[in-house]
Structure 1
Amino acid sequence: MGPDANRRPDRSDAKICLIGGGIASLAAAAFLIRDGHIPGRNITILEELDRLGGSLDGAGSAEHGYVTRGGRMLESKYRCTYDLFSSIPTIDKSRTVTQEIFQWNEVIRTGSKSRLVRAGRKLDSPEFGLSERHILTLERLAIEPEALLGRSSIKDQFDASFFETNFWFMWCTTFAFQPWHSAVEFKRYLVRFAHMIDGFNQLKGIMRTVYNQYDSLVRPLKAWLDEHGVSYVLGAKVTDLRFIEDGDGKAVERVVFEKAGVSEEIAIGPGDYVIVTLGSMTEASDLGSNTAPPALNGKREGGAWTLWEKIAEGRPEFGKPSAFADHIDESKWVSFTATQRDQAFFTIIRDFTGNTPGEGGLITFADSSWLMSIVLPHQPHFIRQPRDVNVFWGYGLHVDAPGDFVRKPMGACSGRELMTEILGQLRVESGAARILETTVVIPCMMPFITSQFLRREKGDRPAVAPEGWRNLGFVGQFVELPDDVVFTVEYSVRSAQAAVSTLLDLDTKPAPVYKGQFDPRVLLKAFVTLHDLHI
């Protein structure tokens, strides 16, 4: 045993309560065990739903239809994510999850030959179409301090012509930005992904997991936590935290939750900790069916937002949940998952795009009034998915507009109607009836899916360890992490590592965010690409 171990506080009796069962909480549990040396048996995760994984979900069956509400893109500079999963074996124990991801992406490299579709025709490597004024604005945003941007939106920074460029159509659909979203977050994305602008029109550099992210990330992580004795209480809706204040500061004393209609409490002792996932971008989601549209719910349909509102009242250091939860019309969109027992559609897409499934990435119908995109992943997309079944995913950003082939708002459409619109955008007539008969599409309305992109100001997002609190940490998409960007697995994992290392005063801090904007080679490539130069 080395000298560092002798100086390490004995936390063998410390109890940890993690609120929320998404990737942020699961990652925090792993960091508590790996870096904090907390026994897994001392860690309890409370989750309102009946399964873990949060937004990294994957469920269903070939018979009734698979569902993934969404999938976060990966790229090579997600340092915290790959650090975490370098410690997590794959389900078959043959390697680590990080090794599997990098090896897989050597086999299947993303290189789209049809990033945009217009008038039923693909655009191979579309030019950005930016004016010099647009480029100067992008360059200004990259260097302008966030404080000067304040609560401004993207549309406050650009003229209307910017939102008609190929650059915007590719950017907004890759990352799910809307013109009214935060200029600060848009700026962070520009800087964070500067190294990916070269090749962006072919989605080069984007990485995928072998299967959906529940099967490829959540399942192996949960298996590792199981082996270490972590406990889970599913169907547990946390309704309140009880606090105390004494000479040592402020602390959580009790966690109150409901399970099966019964109120229960967990006592938090002097040496214990509570880590809360604040908010949820998939809170109150509703699934439709092949014959019925999903419903639009609100924040009262779940516990994540109401808990944050309750504990933040009178405590500005806990942030401002209303900045993110009270603007559903600015944060909602519809995704859908299609399960097919016929190979015809995948064959049509392969022949149309020139890409095999898993290679092409996102295909955006730029003329679509729904601004709809689809992606055909490598098959199988689910573990134990039958060989004669294919699964693909898609979403639309303009869910209140009537479709071009189905004259209804996207949010009011059944799965079959969504598939009808896709076939129309592709100008598929021959065989369309057979495709519709053999496809089950499950739509999902997500009222808060881009709430983390909404306009905000300093203080709306709290620190991972709020000042003055000795045993409380916050994680997830709604905490403040300088430099990094939300709507990524990396942000959740980084928040978990930051919260654990801060609360436990560990030396194992999160790796610095990669800053390609300071690399002259990255800047040169970005300059050339933004100007549509070919040198």
Structure 2
Amino acid sequence: MEAIVVKEEDKNKQVYFVGGGIASLAGAAFLVRDCDFPGIGIHIIEEMNILGGSNDGAGSEEHGYVIRGGRMLNDETYENTWDLLMSIPSLDHPGKSVREEIIAFDDANPTHSNARLVNGNGEVVDVMSMGFNMADRLAMGKLIITPEEKMGKARISDWFGPHFFTTNFWYMWATTFAFQPWHSAVELKRYMIRFMHEFPRIQTLEGVTRTPYNQYDSIILPMKKYLEDHGVDFTLKCTVTDLDFKEGDGITVTCMHVVRCGAEELIAINEEDLVIITNGSMTEGSSLGSMTSAPRLKEKGSSWKLWDRIAAKRPGFGNPSSFDDHIEESKWESFTVTFSDTVFFDLMEQFSRNRAGTGALVTFKDSSWLMSVVLAYQPHFRNQPEHIRVFWGYGLYPDKEGDFVKKKMSDCTGEEIMTELLGHLHFDEHKEAIMATANCIPCMMPFITAQFMPRAARDRPKVVPDGSTNLAFIGQFCEIPDDVVFTEEYSVRAARIAVYTLLGVNKPIAPINKYQYDVRTLFTSFVTSFR
């Protein structure tokens, strides 16, 4: 590694990232790569004993594997993510970047779903038609052209009539991005504009770019190695509980309150130091069940409490209550299933007409849980033995009674969730063989769609609040005009904005592609609405 030349003004400066998710890792990488900032002055503070935040993936053959959620990448809209990953060396292919590694893998295993929706009879639905009527089309057009400031805290159900929520489009769009009818109409509008180029192929999800393994193994581990090689400090099992601010009108952090190993500590923040916070968390409070137990529904944890606490101290820090006080509307449940044979995978590949890793979400549109599953390319974990198979699924309505298991999904064990899934697939004659090696681990996530909750314009703080000298917000709960939350790109873009702004770096940030101004995209989207 080349010797680091430290700028005079950065010799004593320290940068503290609160939270160890992809936003903080990206921010640290931008500091190293674009700001010539010494890694020894960068500190990433994480409450858990592992980095990665919501980009998780762990387990073993013996205990089963778990992915709380899967993140789908997009080759045309993740502008800053791809820029960053071009600079992160691959762990498996010397001389290649993570970006090049992902694209090579995706080119070899392109996505083209042949079974996007399945009806109650276990039949694959023809989804070439979006299923719109004229009222749906008019409402969609009005949504796209109405300024956000005129929409306020409108819900999607305020904008569209009941028919819209029975269309093929809604089932596919809602389960691809995890939208609910009561979520923010503004967020749906942003998605419709940002992914307008994907609208004509939503039935195949050809625009999805997949990583060779789960995101923790494919993205987080290479980023961690890159930062370690540059001397970045990772402080794990340490919780930031509060911030103190300099008196006066501006915003300057002077002290961080932390709890480490059960003991309270203070970290003094000098005026030249920077504090960059991931405020809020989609996966905080997650709870795992097992084949014989259901997960528990938990409440707020440290990330939300920290945001609540500092938002009460200063204006301009947003309104966390819009996001963290609506668990009944922001929760859903996922499940990860581990098999020690290929029986289920063989049946699913035959049923879906997709080899594992080339399909997409298979959604059971008549499922009372609105359940979806997806089979990734195997192995999906670095330590996964050759004979092991792992897939992931989720239900958007965990409080509804199942169609085959007469219990709420949230009350079901892993065995009962598998029974419900096999019922929808009509795999009855193979049930005994499938269940013989199945290890289904359910995961309840109380805040997983909190970022979609209806909100006012200022409920999310700016990345760098007005008047701030050393504080920034990153992650899914800061405000980036025109961009879409629940994406890797949102976190990476926020981190880049935060770092460049606080350090006064005059370098370009990859702009958001404006597909709504492309005539061809507009025309193909219009035609698609009449399919």
Normalising by structure 1, report the TM-score.
0.96
Match of 2:105 in 1: 104
Partner of 1:327: 326
CA shift for structure 1 position 246: 5.8
- The corresponding residue for 1:188 is 190
* 1:157 corresponding residue in structure 2: 159
Tell me the amino acid that sits aligned with residue 389 of structure 1: I
- Asked whether the 8 Å contact 2:319–2:458 carries over to 1, the reply is yes
What's the counterpart of residue 142 of structure 2?
140
| Partner AA of 2:97 in structure 1 | T
Query: Per-residue displacement from partner, 1:164-210 (whole Å, max 9, x unpaired)?
Result: 11110001000000000000000000000000111111111111101
1:209 paired residue number:
211
After TM superposition, give the deviation of residue 125 of structure 1 in Å: 3.9
How much has 1:94 moved relative to structure 2? Answer: 3.6
Query: What letter corresponds to residue 150 of structure 2 in structure 1?
Result: L
Task: Report the secondary structure of 1:241's partner residue.
Answer: strand
- Contact kept, 8 Å, 1:14 with 1:38, in 2: the verdict is no
- In the TM superposition, what whole-angstrom CA distance separates every residue of 1:227-282 from its partner, at most 9, and x where no partner exists? 011111111111111111369x4311111110121011211112110000000000
Q: 1:314 to 1:258 in 2, by over 3 A?
A: closer
Partner SS, residue 293 of structure 1: coil
Amino acid at match of 1:262: A
Q: Which amino acid is the alignment partner of residue 279 of structure 2? A: L
1:296 counterpart residue number: 297
Partner of 2:22: 23
Query: TM-score when scaled to structure 2?
Result: 0.97
1:287 equivalent in structure 2: 288
Contact 1:85 1:97 in 2 (8 A): yes
1:237 aligns with 2:236: no
Residue matched to 1:34? 33
256-265 vs 276-285, which deviates more? 256-265
- Does structure 2 conserve the Cα–Cα contact (< 8 Å) formed by 1:316 and 1:459? no
User: Do the aligned residues in 1 keep the contact of 2:116 with 2:362 (CA within 8 Å)?
Assistant: yes
State the distance in 1 between where 2:528 and 2:340 align: 41
Summarize the alignment of residues 385-464 of structure 1 with structure 2, pairs less than 5 Å apart. Answer: 385-464=384-463
- What's the Cα RMSD here? 1.3
Whole-Å Cα distance in 1 between the matches of residues 401 and 95 of structure 2? Answer: 49
Q: Distance in 1 between matches of 2:363 and 2:443?
A: 19
Q: What letter matches 2:278 in structure 1?
A: T
Counterpart residue number, 1:74: 73
Q: How does 1:342-357 map to 2 (within 5 A)?
A: 342-357=341-356
Aligned to 1:364: 363
Q: Percent identity?
A: 51
Partner of 2:200: 198
Shift of 1:510: 1.9
Measure, in 2, the Cα distance between the counterparts of 1:194 and 1:103: 25
Q: Is the 8 A contact 2:19 2:45 kept in 1?
A: yes
C-alpha displacement of 1:314: 3.7
Does residue 167 of structure 2 align to residue 168 of structure 1?
A: no
Deviation at 1:384, TM superposition (A): 2.3
Consecutive unaligned residues in structure 2, runs of 5 or more: none
Residue type matched to 2:90 in 1? T
The separation in 1 between residues aligned to 2:103 and 2:197, in whole angstroms, is 18
SS in 2 for 1:480: coil
Looking at structure 2, the residues matched to 200 and 277 of structure 1 have their Cα atoms a distance apart, in angstroms, of 31
Aligned to 1:489: 488
TM superposition shift of 1:136: 1.3
Q: How many residues align?
A: 524
AA matched with 2:326: H
Counterpart-to-counterpart distance in 1, 2:147 and 2:188: 13
Partner of 2:84: 84
Distance in structure 1 (CA, Å) of the matches to 2:102 and 2:406: 41
Shift in Å, 1:508 = 2.1
Structure 2 SS opposite 1:91: coil
Gapped runs of 5+ residues in structure 1? none
Cα distance per residue 1:124-146 (max 9 Å; x no partner): 44421001110111111111100
Q: Using the alignment, how far apart are the partners of 1:287 and 1:19 within structure 2? A: 25
Map 1:507-526 onto structure 2 (within 5 A).
507-526=506-525
Distance 2:129 2:416 in 1: 32
2: CA distance, partners of 1:171 / 1:337: 22
Matched with 1:178 is 180
Question: Aligned to 1:202, what secondary structure does the other structure show?
Answer: coil
Per the alignment, residue 271 of structure 1 pairs with 272
SS at structure 1 position matched to 2:441: strand
Paired residue secondary structure (1:306): helix
In structure 1, what is the Cα distance between the partners aligned to 2:156 and 2:12? 49
388-397 or 314-323, larger mean C-alpha shift = 314-323
Alpha-carbon distance in structure 2 between the residues aligned to 1:409 and 1:154? 25
Q: Distance in 2 between matches of 1:365 and 1:451?
A: 24
One-letter amino acid of the counterpart of residue 272, structure 1: D
2:229 to 221, 227, 230: 227
1:476 equivalent to 2:475? Answer yes
Distance 1:206 1:354 in 2: 18
- Write out per-residue CA displacement over residues 336-358 of structure 1, whole angstroms, 9 at most, x where no aligned residue: 10001121100111111110001
Instruction: Give 1:509 shift.
Output: 3.6
Cα distance change on mapping 1:509 and 1:264 into 2, 3 Å: farther
Q: Report the Cα distance in structure 2 between the residues aligned to 1:161 and 1:292, rounded to whole angstroms.
A: 37
TM-superposition CA deviations, 1:52-79 (whole Å, max 9, x none): 0000000111111000000111111210
Aligned 8 A contact 1:498 1:509 in 2: no
What one-letter code is carried by the residue in structure 1 that aligns with 2:322? A
What amino acid is the match of 1:325? D
Hey, what's the Cα distance between the residues in 1 that align with 2:344 and 2:127? 23
The 3-state SS of whatever aligns with 1:245 is coil
Which AA in structure 2 matches 1:269? N
* Counterpart in the other structure of 1:378: 377
Report if the CA contact (8 A) 1:113-1:125 is conserved. Answer: no
Q: Check whether the contact 1:127–1:201 (CA below 8 A) recurs between aligned residues.
A: no
Residue 83 of structure 1 and its aligned partner are, at CA, apart by: 0.7
User: SS at the partner of 2:65?
Assistant: strand
Shift of 1:123: 2.0
| C-alpha contact (below 8 Å) 1:112/1:124 kept by paired residues | no
1:411 is displaced (CA, Å) by 0.6
SS at match of 1:316: coil
**One-letter amino acid of the counterpart of residue 146, structure 2:** E
Determine the structure 2 residue equivalent to 1:48: 47
Aligned-partner Cα distance in 2 for 1:45–1:265? 16
Partner SS state of residue 138, structure 1: helix
Paired with 1:376 and 1:345, the residues of 2 have a C-alpha distance of: 10
